Structure 1
Amino acid sequence: MESRQLIAKLEYALEQLELARPFNKVRFRAAVLDVAARLAAEPGGIDILYDLAPRYDRAGIFADTPWDQPATLLPGLVRNTLEQGDRQTVIIELLSQVRLLALSRGAYTHAGMSAEQARHFLSQVMALNLDHLVAGPGEAMRVRLGRVGAAVAGVFRYLLENTPFEDILGRLVQEVRRIMSQRPLQVDNVKSMITQIALARGRGEGGSGAAAAEADRLVSQLFGPTATCADDPGVDAYLQRVEQLSPAALEAEARGFADAMHASGLVSDYHAVFLRRLVQHRGDLAGTRDGVLALALGLSSTGLDALRTFSELVCRLVEGAVQVGTAQAAYGLALLLESGQLYAAPVAPGLWRQIDLRLSPYCSELLTRVFGGGVSPSARLLAGTIGVLGQPLGIGQGNNPTCQSARAISVWAYNDPDYLLHLISRAAHFDEIVMRFEGEAISTGGMTAGAPVPLDTDPVSVLLVPHLDVMYRRMGELCAGRGDDPHRWINPELHGWWVGRECFLAVDIHTGGLRDYSEFLRRFYCSYHPFYNGNQPIIHPQPAGLAVTDSSGTFVGWHAITLIRVALDRENTMRVYFFNPNNDSGQDWGHGVTVSTHGHGERHGEASLPFTQLASRLYLFHDDTEALVPTSSPDNAELAEVRQMALASWAAGRERETAAQP
């Protein structure tokens, strides 16, 4: 059918949708979406969709859907919609992108979102979907969506054509830097984005300004961080060049790799090849190997001492885990050495056990199925183990409802690494883990069959999360009938002895209403705020629960985090620094509560909020009341402010309070 006929059909369908009663719009919307999908695949069709964009809201295309209020949309969800949504959902998403482009260019206005906000949103969407920008949808999307797959490609090309690449490039680089400032364990998506940037720069796109220079620097940090590999010569050619380096040039090469790794959080495959060459040619570098290895890992005197003490172990870890395909393990290894964890008596033996661990057939099959066969399952798991131990705050739950399990792995890596090594070895060799709940042994053996496996997380999480989910669920069953939130008992038993034995809850689990909320807030201040707890730091990371809200302040759900420390930032604002197992901790929770991941004293992997804002979203925390000796009382006005922030967001409609139970 010619485009003219499709245009006429679309305008007629839009008119019918505009006239339809609210209860009948769903039926008429389907016709609009069907014609829009067909038109988007026609030459010039997206121009028509753009011209009609101001009518979409008026007609009700987005009514009663998550796209109704563009200010509440999240860029990170677009990819999931495109990859997993049905045909109609994908078309709604594409029309929303076209609408936002019109809004960003001033073609129409929408209450609650400015043109600048729309431009920023689109730049983030393009940053997170760069493969659609450059290469279009993959084969799987084309097969699944049919002609709608062509529409996806067309809309992203249209966005690219109508947004200067120089502008996009700067935002893309900023987005990569922002994500990597959190030092996530899983960086495949980031590396994919940088690869696409490199391809675009290779075609001469992006200009020659500051953004282009920063993009080139990012590309070089991943694909050519030193002079010897700056032209990305390939592994074999690079090794031949390394053989010709003088001792001084070898040290310069090592420093170049370390500088790029610590500046970006990314490890080049050439870096992995270089490290393997160092440890595999022990005789050639006698007396200097550890020094060059320390330079290549960017170690301080602390890390160098650990390297010299555990030299043979480190070399075996490099040989067993650091290679093309698992290069990121080098960064985890550097941080592991810097942390001093190897000096804890059980950790080094635990790693020796891991090096020689024989994986079960199921574990080998699982890791191969999830990560592919390019790297052996044993090497993959060892690399993942090194990464988790070195970057305990880099763990992410992926697109999985497993925040409890992800938090537990992070807490053990941070606070009890030898126990985590024990769990990994049990799960990898015996296909089970065993824990005790109030003296009763619980085994996961035979209970993980058919359990969902997280496919977009690190190897340790892929292995352990199914077991931990079973364990968590079984502990919950043992708490049934106790009349209170099961986390009161589960958190100390699951995580470890250091979790506070008292659990304070802001919500009555029977009614959903607030429970003695003012006293809950007062106790939190007296437990964790240095001005009111005698300046006592958090000794061990503590599990806590948040009532997460979206960018409009509307309650979304309960979420597990870890409280790490409380301190003043450079502006003398008291902040709570915490671990959030979401893949991206920088989130807008509405009403000015925006989680920070850098710029306010955060260490890599930490998220932070001012104390008042964190308290306003908190619903559960642990402490030991016998250790609670408040030195002064929290300010009543500040407590009232926090309470009002909660009532304006997640606690709206929960005002009828019950008394706290003894």
Structure 2
Amino acid sequence: MTGLLQKLDAATLQLARAPDFSKPTRLQPVIDLARRVLQQSGGCAAIEERAEALEEAGVFEGSDWAQPAILVPSLSGQSLRGSDATLLVIEALSELRMLAVAKSRYQHSSLSAVAAKHFLTQVLALNLPMLFGSVGESERETQGRLALIPSLLLQHLAARIGFEHIIDELINEIWRILQQRPIQVDPVKQMITQISLCQANPEIDLGSSGQGANRLVSALFGPTQACHEDPGVDVYQQRLESMDTTALQYEATGFARAMHDTGLVSPYHAVLLKQVAQHGDQLLAEALGLSATGRDCLLCFRDLVHSIIDDCLFPETAQGIYGLALTLERGIFYQPPVAPALWRQLGLELAPWSRARLSAAFGDAVPHRARLMEGVLCMLGLPLGVGQGNNPTCQSARALSMWSYNDPDYLLQMVTWAARDDEIVMHFEGKPISSRESLSGVAQTLPLDLDPVSLLVVPHLDRIYAEMGRHCIGRDGDPHQWINPEFHGWWTGRGFRINVDVGTGHLHELESFYRHFYAHYHPGYNGNQPLIHPQPAGIAVTDSAARFIGWHAITIIRATVDPQGTTRVYF
């Protein structure tokens, strides 16, 4: 392999010295030689040593891999399993670069060692079968000898990171994510599924690791005694039909406990819910795990709840059960506009564009209206769990979260406009702005890695937000002082303070900013007045090395003293 490495070093040097216009022609020899090295024993270690030189030479230039901070672990499997040799090699080089950063061999300008290790842990978790040698026939057929590269790569990554800690770290990461109660849990379910498959595979020896996965696996695939062996929804339905009330109550309690413990909902839960809905509201409340508040709300709006269960909650949309339970617990059905708005949502006719978007993201296994209702319930029940995906749409995601938290009927109206009319009209300083007539938004492409509500509403909000920004061109200062009140709602403060000079990016008038911030939010300086309405704010995001990453939109929920006596701002 020594000769190959010498050729690779020479080709890398030529690529580094080549002018920009000729780099593409110099890149292919580097890729070809790297592929041959990666197929050798010890090749991954050799590439890891050269990771910094390869990146500086321009191997990733002009591609998504040039920005490692935006890479998504769940997409790695497509490259590693594909038949495109160039794509496979680039992915392998990128992950070995991540490894060099994680082991502090390479001080990267935009990626910390902690972030790199976190990324690789997820990559390993999502590709456990390949790591343990369980390569399918399709990979062997399509990749041929290339199939050796992902296997050697993942084994090298696991050995360097600490093979025995991969599963345990993954489980800890899953629990960390679930504690935040996100709306989107498909990536978590995917990781749990991979762990479950590896546990069930007799050819894979996990050793003493992975013991903490049982709660996660059982929450998804067997929360109760009647489905603990994951028999399939049809078999489980037959078992339920033969149960008496006592047995059904036992099942209902088990499902509710698993759901509220993890934030995950098993597909079997949807089967149970439809069954117990026929046996009275007491069992239904047990299956949803409701407190006295939720039970009262269920009894007051039982027709609406039963219609939602009958029309929209299926094994494929089971996560909506958790959203429904938490929505009932919030008691927002008592707000006069909410229940009628949900009845409207149940019968909403979706525009062709909306149906196409939902189909592209989630398929056609269930009616699109049911998929959207699942998203609505999750957003109403988990207003702080809204995510923006891998998209620069934090302003729109924040708006959805704020409306769900503070103004749920307005959120439902936005969903109706976007899903039914394929248009949202908002006003900026008295002038109507149509999402259909606006130019492009902040996001350059239509995002698909979103929950159902965001999938339909965010593209409209993003275009309106960008159009409001265009209306502010030429004004001095940060445009958000005009955009925020118009975009988010009347309860957004009209006053505005910023501690950065927009023109230069330097800190500016810090003392004045601190005084105003404390006077508005700190309970010790504002007469102990709690925050009434959530307020939009912007923060500068840095990594663990205090390196600036970018600006991010947040919502200030409250400022109060924590149990340890420290005054904190919660957002």
| CA distance in structure 2 between the aligned counterparts of 1:476 and 1:526, rounded to whole angstroms | 29
Change (3 A) 1:188 1:79: closer
Question: Could you tell me how far apart the structure 2 residues matched to 1:188 and 1:508 are?
Answer: 40
| Structure 1 residue 449: Cα displacement | 9.3
Residues in 2 aligned to 1:371 and 1:131: alpha-carbon distance in whole angstroms: 25
1:463 corresponds to which residue? 456
Deviation per CA, 1:354-390, whole angstroms, max 9, x where unpaired? 0011112222222112211111111111111111111
For 2:570 and 2:236, how far apart are their aligned partners in 1? 42
- State the alpha-carbon separation in 1 of the partners of residues 206 and 349 from structure 2: 52
Using a 3 Å threshold, how does the CA distance of structure 1 residues 440 and 254 change in structure 2: closer, same or farther? same
Q: 1:194 offset after TM fit, Å?
A: 0.8
Give the equivalent residue in structure 2 for 1:177: 175
Give the secondary-structure state (helix, strand or coil) at the position aligned to 2:348: coil
Q: 239-248 vs 361-370, which deviates more?
A: 361-370
Instruction: Report the Cα distance in structure 2 between the residues aligned to 1:226 and 1:482, rounded to whole angstroms.
Output: 61
Alignment: residue pair count: 550
- My pick for the range that moved more, 336-345 or 464-473, is 464-473
Equivalent residue number for residue 63 of structure 2: none
Amino acid at match of 2:499: A
Amino acid at match of 1:263: D
Structure 1 residues 346 and 225: CA distance shift in structure 2, 3 A: same
Q: Secondary structure at the match of 2:265?
A: coil
Q: Find the aligned partners of 2:311 and 2:11 in 1 and give their Cα distance.
A: 65
- Give the gaps of 5 or more residues in structure 2: 61-66, 80-85
- Give 2:395's match in structure 1, choosing from 384, 395, 404: 404
Q: Distance in 2 between matches of 1:307 and 1:228?
A: 26
Residue 93 of structure 1: CA displacement?
A: 1.1
Query: Residues of 1 paired with 2:394 and 2:141: CA distance?
Result: 32
Q: Is the Cα contact below 8 Å between 2:51 and 2:93 reproduced in 1?
A: no
Letter in structure 1 aligned against 2:380: L
CA–CA distance in 2 between the matches of 1:149 and 1:9? 20
2:154 is matched with which residue?
156
Q: Note the C-alpha offset of 1:491.
A: 0.5
Matched, 1:344 2:322: no
Q: 1:116 and 1:363 mapped to 2: Cα distance?
A: 39
Q: How does 1:513-524 map to 2 (within 5 A)?
A: 513-524=506-517
Aligned to 1:251: 249
**Do 2:536 and 2:556's aligned partners in 1 also have CA atoms closer than 8 Å?**
yes
Answer yes or no: is the 8 Å Cα contact 1:329–1:386 preserved in 2: yes
Q: Contact 2:100 / 2:106 at 8 angstroms: preserved in 1?
A: no
Equivalence map 1:414-425=2 (5 Å): 414-425=405-416
2:241 aligned with 1:240, yes or no? no
Partner of 2:291: 300
In the alignment, the residues of structure 1 paired with residue 552 and residue 446 of structure 2 have an alpha-carbon distance, to the nearest angstrom, of 20
**1:188 aligned partner, one-letter code:** D
Corresponding residue of 1:581: none
Match of 1:550 in 2: 543
Q: CA deviation at 1:129?
A: 4.9
Question: Residue 142 of structure 1 contacts residue 149 of structure 1 at CA under 8 Å; is this kept in 2?
Answer: no
Which has the larger displacement, 195-204 or 436-445?
436-445
Q: TM-score, normalised by structure 2?
A: 0.86
Residues 36 and 49 of structure 1 are in contact (CA less than 8 Å); yes or no, is this contact kept in structure 2?
A: no
Contact 1:273/1:324 (8 A) holds in 2: yes
Alpha-carbon displacement from aligned partner over 1:214-245 (angstroms, at most 9, x marks no partner):
21221111100000000111111101111121
Q: How has the CA–CA distance of structure 1 residues 49 and 479 changed in structure 2, closer, same or farther, with 3 Å as cutoff?
A: closer
Classify the secondary structure of the residue corresponding to 1:548.
strand
* 1:636-660 C-alpha deviation (Å, 9 max, x unpaired): xxxxxxxxxxxxxxxxxxxxxxxxx
The corresponding residue for 2:428 is 437
Check conservation: 2:501, 2:507, Cα contact below 8 A: yes
**Alignment-mate amino acid for residue 348 of structure 2:** L
Distance change in 2, residues 1:252/1:154 (3 Å): same
Structure-2 change in CA distance of 1:224 and 1:353 (3 Å): same
- TM-superposed deviation, 1:140: 11
2:367 is matched with 376
Deviation of 1:99 after TM superposition, in Å, equals 4.2
Query: Structure 1 residue aligned with 2:569, among 564, 576, 582?
Result: 576
Counterparts of 2:139 and 2:369 in 1: how far apart (Å)? 30
Counterparts in 2 of 1:335 and 1:34: CA distance versus 1, 3 Å: same
Any conservation in 2 of the 1:76–1:128 contact (CA below 8 Å)?
Answer: no
Distance 1:293 1:463, change over 3 A: same
Deviation at 1:509, TM superposition (A): 2.4
Structure 1 residue matching 2:446: 3-state secondary structure:
coil
More helix by share: 2
Identify the residue that residue 394 of structure 1 maps to in structure 2.
Answer: 385
Q: Deviations over 1:146-200 (max 9, x none)?
A: 9877533431144346777642221121111111111111111111111111110
Do the aligned partners of 2:345 and 2:416 also contact (CA within 8 Å) in 1? yes
Aligned position for 1:606: none
Assess, with a 3 A threshold, how the Cα gap between structure 1 residues 418 and 180 changes in structure 2: closer, same or farther.
Answer: same
Q: Aligned residue for 1:227? A: 225
Aligned residue identity for 2:453: V
Superposed CA offset, 1:514-567 (max 9, x none):
332221122112221222222222211110011112332222222111111122
Q: 1:54–1:360: structure 2 CA closer, same or farther, 3 Å change rule?
A: closer
- Where do residues 595-606 of structure 1 align in structure 2 (5 Å cutoff)? none
Tell me if 1:8 matches 2:9. Answer: no
Does residue 483 of the first structure (1) align with residue 481 of the second (2)?
Answer: no
Question: For residue 9 of structure 1, what is the amino acid of its counterpart?
Answer: L
The 1:98–1:239 alpha-carbon spacing in structure 2 relative to 1, beyond 3 Å, is same
Of 454, 470, 489, the residue aligned with 1:496 is 489
For residue 453 of structure 1, the aligned residue among 446, 457, 460 is 446
Of 20-29 and 341-350, the range deviating more from structure 2: 20-29
CA contact (8 A) 1:166 1:212 kept: no
Residue pair 1:397, 1:403 contacting (<8 A) in 2 also: yes
- 1:97-156 deviation line (CA, Å, top 9, x unaligned): 56479x59xxxx67899999987764344235546546669989998x998775334311
The partner residue of 2:272 within 271, 274, 278 is: 274
CA distance in 2, matches of 1:119, 1:512: 31
Match of 1:48 in 2: 43
Find out whether 1:90 has 2:94 as its counterpart.
no
Further displaced range: 305-314 or 196-205? 196-205
What letter matches 2:44 in structure 1?
Answer: L
Contact 1:297/1:330, CA 8 A, preserved across alignment? yes
Shift of 1:212: 3.2
Per-residue displacement from partner, 1:276-325 (whole Å, max 9, x unpaired)?
A: 2223x3xxx2xxx1111111111011111101111111111111221111
Partner SS for 1:401:
coil
Aligned to 2:310: 319
Q: 1:49 to 1:432 in 2, by over 3 A?
A: closer
Distance in 1, matches of 2:349 and 2:11, equals: 66
Query: Which letter maps to 2:91?
Result: V
Q: Is the 8 A contact 1:76 1:125 kept in 2?
A: no
Query: Could you tell me whether the CA contact under 8 Å between 1:78 and 1:93 is conserved in 2?
Result: no
Distance 1:227 1:380 in 2: 29
Alpha-carbon distance in 2 for matches of 1:350, 1:117: 42
- SS where residue 54 of structure 2 aligns? coil
1:10 maps to a residue whose letter is L
- CA 1:56 to 1:352, structure 2 compared with 1: closer, same or farther past 3 Å? closer
Alpha-carbon separation, structure 2, partners of 1:52 and 1:140: 24
Letter in 1 for 2:346: I
Q: TM-score, normalised by structure 1?
A: 0.75
